[in-house]
Structure 1
Amino acid sequence: MKTWRFEKLSKPVFNTRIKTDEIKNRERWLGYFLGPALVATLNAAVGGSYLNSFYTDVLHLNGLAAGLFLSLMPVISKILDAVTNIVMGRIVDNTKSKQGKARPWILISGPLMAVCAILLFAVPTSNIALTAIWVTCSYNLFFCISYTMYNLSNVITLPLSTRDNKKRDTLAMAQSMGINMVPGAILAVVYPSFILPYMGVDQSRWIKVMMVMGLLAVFGTLLQYYFTKERVTAEIQDTEETEINNTVSLKEQIKGCLSSKYWVMIIVVMFVYYLCHAISVNSMLYYANWVVGTYNDGVTLSLLNIIGQALLGPGVIVMWPLVKKFGKQKLFVVCGVIAVIGGFFGMLNAYSLSMALAALTIRSIGTLPITYVTLSVLADALDHVEWKSGYRCDGFSSSIYSIIITVTAGLGLGFLNMGLSLTGYVAPAADGSWVAQSDAVQKFLTFGTFGVEALAMVVVTIIFVMFNLEKKLPDLQKEIKSRRNNAE
């Protein structure tokens, strides 16, 4: 496969602003927290229930082709996305530049994401066929190309940042906070309280909001590009290992990853959880509007997000001390049980706002590890893959992670839209008026919000009972280092 070298990025203006091998606050908070946070906020706005609400309530596409268009389009698009993720992973693995192999693609992805995000909402509505074509094309441009380029490169920066797993954990904490806390706060408070009531069903206002968010995402990619450093890439770039990694076939990478039971475990965990979480997140907007609140009332969704997920913010402060004291495995198991209890409690008390808030609070405690520690566990599993196979599989693994994120998002939307269609969801009228939803719709939205994620956490908990890599990791890393020293 072609080697991507980016000779023009060798100019001093493109050099990282991180000059030391030590990980300091500038890298942690600008490169791994704020940069990803700004991009994640854009993706959360266009990749979840808000974009779907735009399709159903502004464009009125939920009835197109008897509901099949919105049910199948995201799923089919994610199949294409899976292909582009594999291709992008190979491209990153075959990138060799002074700036590393992931950072150049982060830089390029920023403007692409901004333009494609605007196209998602600048949909012509004069002809239904043109509308459907535009929606399909813009959806694929954003998710299959521009965001895939960014997300895959973003994921791979963590395992390439350092081999010190303790230092890597601090970067993982900052990155997870940025990806989850900032978008969560904005979309939990600002969006439902101010932006959604402002946008309403006015398409021009949706476009204006996305223009602002797109510019912020560009700024985020610049921060991430200039304030990160690929130490592992620099370590192996001028050695024979670089050539080995570049010539490892996709088949061999798949074999190498599958040889590690821990890699397989964490991939299964991510797929199951992110699929069910996507269904839950996408359902919650509708649940707030039609089960425990009224349409875009500016209050109910804010309460569900603020109170129900309030502990996700301060939870990160105690999460990493707890990881250090008890270990990742024990934390995942104990918290997993808590999350299951919260989910089923919500199912049983879904029509009471106070009980729903209590259920979400309990669930948020239980999902703290999978929210903040998952990328660190994946990085650990990649070290195990290297120990087993003799070569790194960062690009392929990042492809799989990115595929999981994007495919589960599409499957989650497809599940929600199919359920809305089958249960008889009635969208608001063009003038903003609406009618109450049927009992079947309300029960479906309740299951989507609480039930599916509870089932996912059952699976996650069972898997982490068997996930004992943490104790073995220091010895594995010493052996990897010893092999490299002997090879040199």
Structure 2
Amino acid sequence: MEIKNEAFAEPDILGPNTALTNKNLLGYGIGAFGIMSLWILGSTMLTYYYTEIVGISAGLVGTIIFLSRIFDGISDVAMGYVVDNTRSKHGKARPWLLWLAVPFSISGILVFSVPDIGTTGQVVYAVITNLLFILMYTGIRIPYNALIALMSNDSQERGMMSIYQMVPGFTAGMVVSIAFIPLFNMLGGTRISWFLLVLILSVMAGSFIYVTFRSTKERVGSHNESDVKTKVSFITGLKVLLGNKFWVLIFLVGLLMSALNAMSSAGGLYYALYVFGDVNLIALIGAATSLPVLVSLFFIAPLVKKFGKRNAALGGAFLGIIGGIIKIVDPSNLVIYMTGSVLQTIGTVPVLGIGIALLADTIEYGEWKTGIRTEGLATSGGMFADKLGNGLGTAIVGWTLALGGYVAGAAEQSESVI
């Protein structure tokens, strides 16, 4: 597929040796805050919204989310192929930030606006809008991540871009985790309250994505509309990826980390409500985990410089595993739970932050090995691992609740649920 756009008046492509400016880095980073604020809301609060606000059964919710993530994997790969074969004067990835900023915002509003149309109607609506939300996120996030490989061919600059993405991304997660539920309750705890908060986040997300579009330039690879000789077939690109051992390794690690994070995030709300007895404790848990993470982000660069990207990521993964083990020592103890959560979350910082830069490095390795460059497919594969893991982890929470006899909206749950 070759995509052209004749409307752009001037090229936004610079040479590969052009150094990144602070405007480029800050502009790229602010997009992560917009994208992740809306996505994290959907990935961590959607199960709670469907079961507690709308009243859909937990088992159905788990199945809806898991199946939608599987379907989304197809869109990930398709979008990666589209990006690889996009040709415009704005580049390969940047145009999609412009085209999909508003649709992404609208899809975020729709997914949290389930109407009172009966259980069957609500389930159908949830499936359709959830798929739309995920598809729009795919259309935004894959080009956004691909920009790391397209804006610089310098490994250190890519590392800096990853950090500039991680700081606002985690900040967005912190804001949503700490503030959303308390603000929702403060505004009355109604569907209208939820809608207003989602509306604010959605408008902000679209605005920040547009800022990223205006602040970035593509420097690496083939972008010109007349350059069609570099077009790569889907099958060829897929073979290149599967033959890239380093890309496969990052894919598997990303899948596991995403699943574990999703289980922790989606289950946290129910844990606060039914184990600790106060849903507002999710703000305290969010603060206790997010603030140390925000501080630790600033230590990624020194760690990478001293130990290298691979070793820093492995160390983070080990710390995350230790945190997960601590949490299950005494699940009903708030202090132990929060201590384990802090270690688990801090451990994910180098894995997720450096992982994006490592993914970009695998593109260079693949090009060196085969002569074929596939920024879009490589990035989409990484996104597929993230969303498949996210869907699997979230679904496990829903299925576990259903197996335990969870009743949506009940003031108390049975011992088997807890």
TM-score normalised by length of structure 1: 0.81
1:460 matched residue in structure 2: none
Shift of 1:388: 0.9
Matching of residues 70-469 of structure 1 within 5 Å? 70-143=61-134, 145-179=135-169, 181-198=170-187, 200=189, 202-233=190-221, 236-237=222-223, 242-246=227-231, 248-294=232-278, 296=279, 298=280, 300-428=281-409, 434-435=411-412, 437-442=413-418
Residue 17 and residue 184 in structure 1: after superposition, are their counterparts in 2 closer, same or farther (change >3 A)?
A: farther
Residue 101 and residue 195 in structure 1: after superposition, are their counterparts in 2 closer, same or farther (change >3 A)?
A: same
Shift of 1:193: 3.0
- Aligned match for 1:40, one of 33, 36, 41: 36
Q: Distance in 1 between matches of 2:16 and 2:364?
A: 25
1:52 matched residue in structure 2: 47
What are the ranges of 5 or more consecutive residues in structure 1 without an aligned counterpart? 443-488
After superposition, give the CA deviation of every residue in 1:33-54 in whole Å (9 maximum; x if it has no partner). 1122112101111222x11111
Q: Which runs of 4+ in 1 moved over 4 A?
A: 14-20
Q: Distance in 1 between matches of 2:399 and 2:84?
A: 38
Q: Distance in 2 between matches of 1:212 and 1:28?
A: 25
Whether the aligned pair in 1 keeps the contact of 2:13 and 2:90 (CA below 8 Å) is yes
Q: Distance in 2 between matches of 1:176 and 1:25?
A: 16
Residue 425 and residue 151 in structure 1: after superposition, are their counterparts in 2 closer, same or farther (change >3 A)?
A: same
Shift of 1:15: 5.3
Residue 17 and residue 274 in structure 1: after superposition, are their counterparts in 2 closer, same or farther (change >3 A)?
A: same
Q: Percent identity?
A: 26
Using CA pairs under 8 Å that are at least 6 residues apart, name the structure with larger relative contact order, 1 or 2.
Answer: 2
Shift of 1:118: 1.5
Shift of 1:157: 0.7
After superposition, give the CA deviation of every residue in 1:99-122 in whole Å (9 maximum; x if it has no partner). 001111111111101111111122
- Aligned match for 1:24, one of 21, 24, 27: 21
After superposition, give the CA deviation of every residue in 1:330-373 in whole Å (9 maximum; x if it has no partner). 22233332222221111102211112222222223322211321
Residue 126 and residue 253 in structure 1: after superposition, are their counterparts in 2 closer, same or farther (change >3 A)?
A: closer
Shift of 1:274: 0.9
Shift of 1:136: 1.2
State the structure with more CA Rg: 1
Give the partner amino acid of 1:29: L
Residue 412 and residue 338 in structure 1: after superposition, are their counterparts in 2 closer, same or farther (change >3 A)?
A: closer
Q: Distance in 2 between matches of 1:115 and 1:335?
A: 36
Q: Distance in 2 between matches of 1:214 and 1:15?
A: 27
Whether the aligned pair in 1 keeps the contact of 2:77 and 2:380 (CA below 8 Å) is yes
RMSD: 2.3
After superposition, give the CA deviation of every residue in 1:145-192 in whole Å (9 maximum; x if it has no partner). 21111011111111111111111111111012222x221221232113
Give the partner amino acid of 1:407: L
After superposition, give the CA deviation of every residue in 1:254-292 in whole Å (9 maximum; x if it has no partner). 211222211111111111111222122111111111112
Paired positions, count: 418
Q: Distance in 2 between matches of 1:310 and 1:113?
A: 28
Q: Distance in 2 between matches of 1:18 and 1:286?
A: 51
Whether the aligned pair in 2 keeps the contact of 1:38 and 1:216 (CA below 8 Å) is yes
Shift of 1:321: 0.9
Shift of 1:138: 0.8
Residue 157 and residue 199 in structure 1: after superposition, are their counterparts in 2 closer, same or farther (change >3 A)?
A: farther
Secondary structure in 2 matching 1:425: coil
Residue 381 and residue 270 in structure 1: after superposition, are their counterparts in 2 closer, same or farther (change >3 A)?
A: same
Residue 20 and residue 198 in structure 1: after superposition, are their counterparts in 2 closer, same or farther (change >3 A)?
A: farther
After superposition, give the CA deviation of every residue in 1:395-447 in whole Å (9 maximum; x if it has no partner). 11122122222222222222111111110113325xxxx12x333322xxxxx
Secondary structure in 1 matching 2:328: helix
Whether the aligned pair in 2 keeps the contact of 1:310 and 1:361 (CA below 8 Å) is no
Matching of residues 6-25 of structure 1 within 5 Å? 6-8=5-7, 10-11=8-9, 21-25=18-22
Residue 138 and residue 239 in structure 1: after superposition, are their counterparts in 2 closer, same or farther (change >3 A)?
A: closer
What are the ranges of 5 or more consecutive residues in structure 2 without an aligned counterpart? none
TM-score normalised by length of structure 2: 0.94
Residue 326 and residue 153 in structure 1: after superposition, are their counterparts in 2 closer, same or farther (change >3 A)?
A: same
